[in-house]
Amino acid sequence: MFLIACSSKADIVVTPNIQPTDTNGIGKFTPVVQSKVNISTPTITIPTETIQLPTSTPTISICSPLENYSFNELEEAISNPYHPPQFGSDDPHQGIDFAVLNYGMAVPGNLIQAVMDGAVSMIINDRFPYGNAVLVETKIKSLPMDWLDILNLPVLVPTLEAHSSLTCPLISPEPSWNFEDRSIYILYAHLLEEVDFQVDDEIQCGETIGRIGQTGNALNPHLHLEARIGPADARMKSLGHYDTSITPEEMHYYCVWRVSGLFQLIDPLRLLQFIR
């Protein structure tokens, strides 16, 4: 369980009580987010047991997010690179933008594919800034151990201070997520049409997610690909911000996703390097 409250007049302090954190950054934790100015050093509990990793090597593939694009071609298609912000900030760029060019102009319509097997965690329909988008969860335990070593996924830190000017309402009841395990979440945004999926639908690597569009805060047609690691089994109805039509619940989840520290950023290219 957690609370999140942020405003232009308060700092966010994420103070998780970390129990195990192993070399792959898979930790058991119970985060509490509270509005606070004075920060005390949290106590770290030495783990007495750890999360069991798979004893056999899982079989999973990494697929290109753009149909018929190799990893090298994806690098050439980057129109806005990954530029992670300082913690708690919402700028400058928390993912990677891929654009398909035709005579030097970015064009819509190219098919977007799932990067990994997973389950739909959230669907966003025409909300600012992501437009039409879908979030897909892949459990970390499903990844091969040697991949985890190469990915060097972020580990939880005892205290995370955020300085955010976002409006972040509280909601009730609090989400019930699995803080015993962690997952990788990949967001596919600015899609041309609303996606034809439901939350919890299973997605296969290479399955069509949608088409490149220009919905939300997109100045030209492109795919915004954003990757984070967070608590397993997270489900959110929708999220958005910076628009008067956005609901308090959507603003809450936007803050949780973008600035709370519960979902830690990953450079998408670190995942895409495994495309074969």
Domain boundaries, the chain: 59-152+172-272
Q: Do residues 80 and 91 lie in contact, with contact meaning Cβ atoms separated by under 8 Å?
A: no
Residues paired with residue 211 on neighbouring β-strands, in sequence order: 111
- Chain-centre distance for alpha carbon 91: 15
Give the C-alpha distances (Å, rounded to integers) separating 29 from 3, 12, 25, 125, 234: 14, 18, 12, 32, 14
The model's pTM: 0.80
Please give the average per-residue pLDDT across 123-134, as a whole number.
Answer: 97
Task: Report which of 185, 182, 56, 178 is spatially closest to residue 116, judged by C-alpha positions.
Answer: 185
Give, in words, the CATH class of 59-152+172-272.
Answer: mainly beta
Angle at 236 between CA 182 and CA 219, to 5 degrees: 105
**Beta strand residue intervals within the chain, DSSP E:** 12-14, 17-21, 27-30, 33-35, 78-80, 96-98, 101-102, 105-106, 111-113, 118-127, 131-139, 160-162, 178-191, 202-203, 208-211, 223-232, 264-266
146 compared with 253, residue with greater pLDDT: 253
Residues paired with residue 83 on neighbouring β-strands, in sequence order: 93
DSSP H helical ranges for the chain: 71-76, 145-151, 248-258, 268-272
Query: Cα dihedral angle (115, 121, 125, 128), rounded to 10 degrees?
Result: -90
Phi and psi for 33 in degrees, rounded to 5? -110, 125
Q: What are 98's two structure tokens?
A: 């891929």
With 70 as the cut, is the pLDDT of residue 221 above it? yes
15-30 pLDDT, tens digit per residue, is: 333 333 343 433 333 3
- Half-sphere exposure of residue 99, counting CA atoms within 13 Å on the CB side? 17
Q: What are 165's two structure tokens?
A: 């000017």
Please give the average per-residue pLDDT across 192-218, as a whole number.
Answer: 96
Phi and psi for 272 in degrees, rounded to 5? -70, -15
Give the C-alpha distances (Å, rounded to integers) separating 176 from 198, 225, 229, 231, 235: 19, 26, 17, 10, 9
166-179 pLDDT, tens digit per residue, is: 888 988 887 889 98
Please give the average per-residue pLDDT across 240-266, as a whole number.
Answer: 93
63-98 pLDDT, tens digit per residue, is: 999 999 999 999 999 999 999 888 778 888 999 999
In this predicted structure, which of 96-105, 108-117, 149-158, 267-276 has the lowest mean pLDDT? Answer: 149-158
